[in-house]
């Protein structure tokens, strides 16, 4: 028999202490977001289809991005126990300076189109959180305005080498003059990837009104009010170069860029220099001899070559060969602070987040980016606490296993031949008989 009693008025009063409602609608929206996926959901509701899909989508069948995200989900963590870790320190040293966490904001083009506060929100939020912000060559806020928005924080500049090289050289000089401490030289865009969602959504830069965009706009008035009442979208660091937005995008994709361009830019740039978009161990090795400070293993968030290597899978072999020679950063697919912890454990010095930042921006402008950073921060802290690891430096490969669902069917012949001559045959998947390498 359950024992019953009359309700106690004291207890009832306590139960009825309702939380004061949050009056600000942006804060109210953001309060409900517990994960980056939740921010994506809010972003999708608030942003017209074309800019949302431009951000959310990737190239061709979107396989690269899906695989990169899957690879992070396929992490198995190995926690330690009884290590007495009441607090964790998430700070790290990157490219000669500090960062309060082992990630920064990746460069993204046309950011004010996602939400009108764009790079000002991104750089301001990054500065306030003590992490670096990267401005794209195709950014919609100028080098100087980003510096003004984040005067004491670390600003990095991403360079596309334009067909007209003199434009890029001018940008390099301006970024150095404005005190940006690192240059990211992007190398994975010889031509534009095929973003099929953009074609299907009738997307154009700058956005154009069609019947379907008008219909799509009706439930998203805030975005349109912002768009129509704020300065025109333009590549803000390139306004003096002339040409339409389309001309400039065309300029930024140049299949003739080469190691000579890297050499020229490296000689011009006074700060640290990274190459972004490295996708094979062979290229990483070549770059290690060029005097750069490091590389970003990246497939551009899956927006260029579809079915490109998964950066997180490439990471251990690159770290093993080159980790002592230069910094190894990584991006593509990061949706959770635990993805960053796993990357650092496998030897990455730093990670960059692209869409996670843009989902926050679309969900709530500056406050949305703050929310992205705070979600990632709490996930990093919690994962480190659960692993019982007190500092970023203590993370190591023993904390992570990469569970494998995709395995190469066979090693490339040249690779196998090299292994045979070295007398240590590489593992051949069990379902394939070992082959004798051709002479
Ligand atoms: C909308 C969008 C625009 C981007 N623009 C640039 C760019 O201008 N320059 C660049 O080097 N990378 C650019 N990237 C790639 C990012 O820097 C980064 O490599 C990628 O977003 C990482 O993957 P993630 O979005 O899964 O975090 C862009 C990515 C997105 C999503």
Q: Per-residue pLDDT averaged across 22-51, rounded?
A: 95
Q: Per-residue pLDDT averaged across 243-247, rounded?
A: 73
**E strand or H helix that includes residue 98:** strand 97-99
Residue-level pLDDT at 410? 72
pLDDT tens digit string along 339-384?
A: 999 999 999 999 999 999 999 999 999 999 999 999 999 999 999 9
- Say whether pLDDT at 389 is over 50: yes
Question: CA-CA distance, 95 to 37, in Å (whole number)?
Answer: 30
Residue-level pLDDT at 424? 46
Annotated catalytic residue 399:
no
**Nearest 10 degrees: CA dihedral of 210, 213, 219, 223?**
-100
- Say whether pLDDT at 75 is over 70: yes
- Say whether pLDDT at 245 is over 80: no
Of residues 243 and 96, the one with the higher pLDDT is 96
pLDDT tens digit string along 300-319?
A: 999 999 999 999 999 999 99
Residue-level pLDDT at 198? 87
Does 99 contact ligand 1 (Cβ within 6 A)? no
The CATH code for residues 26-400 is: 3.20.20.70
Mean pLDDT for the chain? 91
Question: CA-CA distance, 244 to 238, in Å (whole number)?
Answer: 10
Q: Which residues contact 342 (CB under 8 A, 6 or more apart)?
A: 72, 75, 77, 312, 399, 400
Residue-level pLDDT at 416? 56
pLDDT tens digit string along 184-232?
A: 999 999 998 999 998 888 777 777 777 787 788 888 999 989 989 999 8
Q: Both tokens of residue 231?
A: 């300065």
Phi-psi region of 365 (alpha: psi -120 to 50; beta: other; left: phi over 0): left
From ligand 1's centre to the CA of 301, what distance in Å?
6
- Say whether pLDDT at 150 is over 90: yes
What are the sequence ranges of the domains in the chain? Answer: 26-400
Catalytic option among 300, 313, 329, 399? 300
Residue-level pLDDT at 430? 40
Range in 24-28, 39-43, 73-77 the model is least confident about: 24-28
Does 113 contact ligand 1 (Cβ within 6 A)? no
User: Candidates 56, 70, 245, 354: which one to mutate for ligand 1, based on the most atoms within 8 Å of Cβ?
Assistant: 354
- Residue owning the nearest CA to atom 29 of ligand 1: 108
Confidence of residue 267 (pLDDT cuts 50, 70, 90): very high
Percent of the chain with pLDDT over 90: 76
- Say whether pLDDT at 131 is over 90: yes
């Amino acid at each position: 028999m359950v024992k019953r009693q009359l309700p106690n008025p004291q207890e009832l009063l306590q139960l009825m202490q309702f939380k004061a409602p949050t009056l600000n609608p942006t804060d109210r929206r953001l309060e409900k977001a517990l994960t980056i996926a939740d921010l994506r959901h809010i972003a999708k509701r608030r942003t017209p289809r074309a800019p949302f899909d431009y951000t959310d989508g990737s190239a061709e069948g979107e396989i690269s991005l899906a695989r990169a995200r899957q690879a992070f989900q396929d992490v198995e963590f190995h926690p330690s126990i009884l290590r007495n870790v009441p607090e964790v320190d998430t700070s790290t040293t990157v490219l000669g300076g500090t960062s309060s966490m082992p990630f920064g904001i990746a460069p993204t083009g046309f950011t004010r189109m996602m939400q009108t506060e764009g790079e000002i929100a991104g750089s301001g939020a990054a500065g306030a959180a003590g992490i670096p912000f990267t401005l794209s060559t195709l950014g919609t806020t100028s080098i100087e305005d980003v510096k003004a928005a984040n005067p004491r924080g670390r600003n990095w500049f991403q360079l596309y080498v334009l067909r007209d090289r003199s434009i890029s050289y001018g940008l390099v000089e301006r970024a150095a003059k404005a005190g940006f401490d690192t240059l990211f030289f992007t190398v994975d865009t010889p031509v534009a990837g095929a973003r099929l969602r953009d074609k299907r959504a009738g997307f154009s830069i700058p956005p154009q009104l069609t019947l379907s965009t008008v219909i799509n706009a009706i439930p998203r008035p805030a975005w349109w009010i912002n768009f129509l009442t704020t300065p025109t979208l333009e590549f803000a660091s390139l306004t003096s170069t002339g040409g339409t937005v389309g001309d400039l995008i065309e300029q930024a994709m140049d299949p003739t860029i080469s190691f000579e361009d890297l050499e020229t830019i490296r000689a011009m740039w006074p700060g640290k220099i990274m190459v972004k978009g490295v996708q094979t161990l062979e290229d990483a090795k070549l770059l290690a001899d060029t005097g750069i400070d490091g590389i970003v293993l990246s497939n551009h968030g899956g927006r260029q070559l579809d079915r490109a290597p998964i950066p997180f899978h490439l990471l251990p072999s690159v770290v093993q060969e080159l980790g002592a020679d230069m910094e190894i950063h990584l991006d593509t697919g990061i949706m959770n602070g635990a993805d960053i912890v796993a990357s650092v454990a496998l030897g990455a010095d730093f990670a960059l987040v692209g869409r996670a930042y843009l989902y926050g921006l679309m969900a709530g402008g500056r406050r949305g980016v703050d929310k992205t950073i705070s979600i990632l921060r709490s996930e990093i802290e919690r994962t480190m606490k659960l692993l019982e690891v007190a500092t970023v430096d203590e993370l190591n490969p023993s904390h992570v296993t990469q569970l494998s669902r995709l395995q190469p069917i066979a090693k490339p012949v040249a690779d196998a031949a090299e292994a045979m001559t070295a007398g240590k045959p590489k593992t051949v998947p069990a379902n394939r008989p070992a082959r004798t390498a051709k002479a």
